Structure 1
């Protein structure tokens, strides 16, 4: 392994704009943590470089995945959850080269899991929960029981992630094993859905009911990042303005559904604005925090 590390440093240290090199050995025989290969070499650069973004190489009979990513892309991966493996890569990987301590500071922030990062991840998970939960409700109504089961199971995963984030834990570093200790009630629901002797419809309805009363009560706290954006000015926001806000752009989430639900729950107020004085029938809907 030491030969491989020396080879990696020698081969890539002169890469233009290189900030850091990390190496992660795959400890699992089947988990596709690094796309089925034995080793990951992560190269972080200051700016996007015009080279192969992913390479497969063999080093001393070890098959390695070499990933090159800019610091901006790394930030988006961590924040937006586009690549959930990135958390495990950064937490468990060995840093071989780290100019100005960049990667060490990123790892330290991940381990501290500050409130701002929790808010971002909780909003992403709630957004995912809302979509799959409502789709499960529609599937149930349409009699599509297997689809309802699939979607409510996904919603339950999002719920589990929300609970772990509230406890200051990264959901990317295993879910149900953590959850059994942290929140046995949600874990019990998972067992009821997947292993109960009751009919599939009864199991789905039980979890849907629990979702309705437990997770929906978390709507305001889970959406605090969006409500804070709305509160940052007195004028109401169009959905386009909200969607293009730098924080929301970074999170890569669609807002229409969650905004609609915030209005339904009276956390957000809908304001109709006339866009064209010549056409009084066409009104644009804008949004602001209720009672702000």
Structure 2
């Protein structure tokens, strides 16, 4: 296979911007990891006109895909978890080319999972969890039980990923297999929701009660990154906070996360006068110290 694909990747490997080339072969009859193609080539570059593009090929009844991605795009996928199979590809793909041991360093980073990266990823998952939970609760209160179920399932997935990250691991596609061993309590909640014989609204009612407690216990861990950012200044306006280089990764959920922390008495509000009578800007500040290390 490698020899057949050599003409496809060899010229790119010789380019000075190419950092690494990996080959990922189809493992099973059904293989979403390779989009059901027989093999995928991943080429990581320092820079390119496009952050990511794909080409498809055929040879000797085999199907192949060439994925070319910039280092910046790959790092964003790893951080945000928006293309989770990339971690699997980097850790388990066959190395065909590695300039200056770039992959050695990347794999070491993935395996050690530096604390600051973990803290940011946890806040991303926690912010998504809070939004899904709030939306699910609103649907439940409106007796839209199927919509509530959908949102609470997503909330549980974010909680599961948070638990895995907090233990120093990257969430895999089979995240519930990880959670089963790492945090059985969360795994049990998931099983009860999807497998119980109780009527749906009863299952949801019990789960919301348990979820309220779990979210409370995870608040300081989940909001640690934002809490540290808030501590950098005496007061933040929302527009300034959302432009912070790290906060931008969960900016879409920042507003609901702030309101959650205000309700928990962790964040406070200063009202700043505007030119409009009786209208104030909202300034946010860290109300009380929490242990986030």
TM surpasses 0.5: yes
Q: Distance in 1 between matches of 2:253 and 2:137?
A: 20
Are 1:284 and 2:276 matched, yes or no? no
CA RMSD in angstroms, aligned pairs only: 2.0
Q: Which residue of 2 aligns with 1:139?
A: 139
Contact 1:76 1:250 in 2 (8 A): no
Q: Residues 275 and 40 of structure 1: is their aligned pair in 2 closer, same or farther, counting only changes over 3 Å?
A: farther
Give the Å deviation of 1:50.
5.0
Q: Distance in 2 between matches of 1:163 and 1:118?
A: 11
Q: Number of aligned residue pairs: give it.
A: 289
Give the Å deviation of 1:134.
1.0
Q: Which residue of 2 aligns with 1:66?
A: 66
1:28-52 alpha-carbon deviations (Å, 9 max, x no partner): 3324223232222111111123598
Q: Which residue of 1 aligns with 2:255?
A: 256
Give the Å deviation of 1:291.
3.1
Secondary structure of the 2:270 match is: strand
Contact 1:57 1:63 in 2 (8 A): yes
Give the Å deviation of 1:252.
5.8
Are 1:240 and 2:239 matched, yes or no? yes
Give the Å deviation of 1:6.
3.2
Aligned residue runs from structure 1 range 37-186, under 5 A: 37-50=37-50, 53-186=53-186
Aligned residue runs from structure 1 range 195-210, under 5 A: 195-210=195-210
Q: Distance in 2 between matches of 1:201 and 1:73?
A: 42
Q: Residues 47 and 200 of structure 1: is their aligned pair in 2 closer, same or farther, counting only changes over 3 Å?
A: same
Secondary structure of the 1:37 match is: coil
Give the Å deviation of 1:173.
4.6
Of stretches 5-14 and 262-271 in structure 1, the one that deviates more from structure 2 is: 5-14
TM-score, scaled relative to structure 1: 0.92
Give the Å deviation of 1:147.
0.9
Give the Å deviation of 1:96.
1.4
Secondary structure of the 2:27 match is: coil
Are 1:194 and 2:191 matched, yes or no? no
Contact 2:21 2:98 in 1 (8 A): yes
Of stretches 71-80 and 15-24 in structure 1, the one that deviates more from structure 2 is: 15-24
Please list every run of 5 or more consecutive structure 2 residues that lacks an aligned counterpart in the other structure: none
Give the Å deviation of 1:242.
1.3
Q: Residues 184 and 12 of structure 1: is their aligned pair in 2 closer, same or farther, counting only changes over 3 Å?
A: same
Q: Distance in 2 between matches of 1:76 and 1:221?
A: 22
Q: Distance in 1 between matches of 2:269 and 2:51?
A: 48
